[in-house]
Structure 1
Amino acid sequence: MLKIKVNESDTYEVRQEKNQWWLGETAFDGDIVPLNGTTRGGGWYHVIWKGRSFNLEVVELDRAAKTLTFRINGQLYTTTAQDRFDLLLESMGMSNAASTKVNEVKAPMPGLIQSVSVQPGIEVHKGDILLVLVAMKMENAIKAPGEGKVKAVRIKPGDSVEKNQVLVEFE
């Protein structure tokens, strides 16, 4: 079972029993079809539910934070999900126990540092671009995994890095 909160106000329970999805006590008897160019976790979908047709665009998906922002027929919705483990932790008063503090950012692949956007002492927010790593002729923006203060920057533009090399440390 999932507990889904929509736009920080309405809460729904979603569950799957055998091959049937349920929204509260209502069975989902519609159809969802990915449209051309849709990739896993993003893109456009066509939804038919209760005899009505909807166009759904996935705007942003953050699997780690369990958040999804999507647009249905032009209206924007933001959802957060809690699975059974999140609900168990919450019932035990430990809802923040599942979050982990990140102390460093490592290179996801070997490459060349093109630019660095941070310096020690700077406060960053989740999603802020820390640096750009070029690998296989592709620019990869490496983003902050959470909020924090930069303790050290271990690289500079022009440096070659190996996979799992520490790039930025946080306090």
Structure 2
Amino acid sequence: MLEIRTSSSQVWEVDYQAPNQLRLNGQLFGWDLAVLGNGRYHVLFEGRSYQAELVEADYAAKTLVLKINGQRVALQAKDRYDLLLEKMGLSNATVLKVNELKAPMPGLIVDIRVAAGQAVQKGDPLLVLEAMKMENILKAPADGTVSSIRVTLRDNVQKGQVLVQFA
């Protein structure tokens, strides 16, 4: 079961019974979905046609931004574990305090996109690490302030090496 929220006043309970069987607020949800490609979909629901596009997805934070018939809709999902933690009063216990960003793999620093003292939000790009001829954008794992950058442009780094420290 998922709880989907678009705003404080719009909340839906979504339950997957079986493949292609979806319940919305306890009622069977009958729809026809056609995948158009590149995050675009055509949906038929109760005789009406909708064009849907996936604009953004943050699966770790369980957020989606859709464009439905040209109108942006931001969605926040909570699964049964999130709801249980919230019911127990532990939802704030999951807030992440990060002190440093470490290299996930060996590579070469090809771009530095932040400076010491800069405030960053979760998901903001910090560095670009080239590994195996691919550029990997390393993003802020949580909100914070950069206290120091421990690498310079064109540095070779090892897996686990501290790249950025947070205040």
TM-score > 0.5, shorter chain as reference: yes
How do 1:122-133 residues align onto structure 2 when only pairs under 5 Å count? 122-133=118-129
Q: d(CA) in 1 for partners of 2:32 and 2:105?
A: 39
Correspondence 1:52 to 2:53: no
Residues 59 and 160 from structure 1, CA distance in 2 versus in 1: closer, same or farther, beyond 3 angstroms?
A: same
1:8 and 1:79 in contact (8 A); partners too: no
Tell me what 1:114 maps to. 110
2:57 and 2:63 in contact (8 A); partners too: yes
**Deviation readout 1:15-48 (Å, 9 max, x if unpaired):** 1224421111321211222223x3xxxx111212
Q: d(CA) in 1 for partners of 2:85 and 2:34?
A: 35
Q: d(CA) in 1 for partners of 2:13 and 2:152?
A: 48
Give the alignment's Cα RMSD to 1 decimal: 1.8
Greater displacement, 114-123 / 46-55: 114-123
Counterpart secondary structure, 1:34? strand
Query: 1:77 Cα deviation (Å)?
Result: 0.4
Q: 2:147 aligns with which of 128, 151, 155?
A: 151
2:34 and 2:42 in contact (8 A); partners too: yes
Q: Given the two structures, how large is their TM-score scaled by the length of structure 2? A: 0.89
Tell me what 2:28 maps to. 27
% same residue: 52
May I ask how many residue pairs the two structures share in their alignment? 166
Tell me what 1:169 maps to. 165
Greater displacement, 59-68 / 129-138: 129-138
Q: d(CA) in 2 for partners of 1:69 and 1:4?
A: 12
1:46 and 1:56 in contact (8 A); partners too: yes
What one-letter code is carried by the residue in structure 2 that aligns with 1:154? R
Tell me what 2:133 maps to. 137
Q: Which runs of 4+ in 1 moved over 3 A?
A: none
Greater displacement, 107-116 / 53-62: 107-116
Greater displacement, 159-168 / 70-79: 159-168
